[in-house]
Structure 1
Amino acid sequence: MSRADWVDADHDSCNTRAEVLILESRIPATVEAGCKVPAGEWYSYYDGITVTARSGLDIDRMVPLV
């Protein structure tokens, strides 16, 4: 997904990716001007590892199949 695909639905200057990074960080995420999230700590439930570099994360949509 390209950077242009991330939207700021609530117009708070944080796009969807930034909102997820802030919400899911296990420690308080660092948030800079323009809602840039340079640091945090995220746990991958899929492979059981902790990631501290946001560039090491892929954020995908989960759609339940009923």
Structure 2
Amino acid sequence: MSTMKKPGIVFIALFYVNILFAFDNPLVLINHDLRDGLISDLKAVELKTRVLLIPESLPDR
């Protein structure tokens, strides 16, 4: 394998790992619930505030 392909493969692997972590991010989950109509705008604002300020106060998933 050439030396030019190795950094590309590492970059692609790191990119996919970051995507996997993003799926479990509370803000992403809140946005999905908001988009799907499972929570109201007010509830989304409350949950996002709690994620940023007091993460341990969030309800279980």
Give the TM-score of the pair, scaled to structure 1: 0.28
| Greater share of residues in strand | 1
Max Rg structure: 2
| Greater share of residues in helix | 2
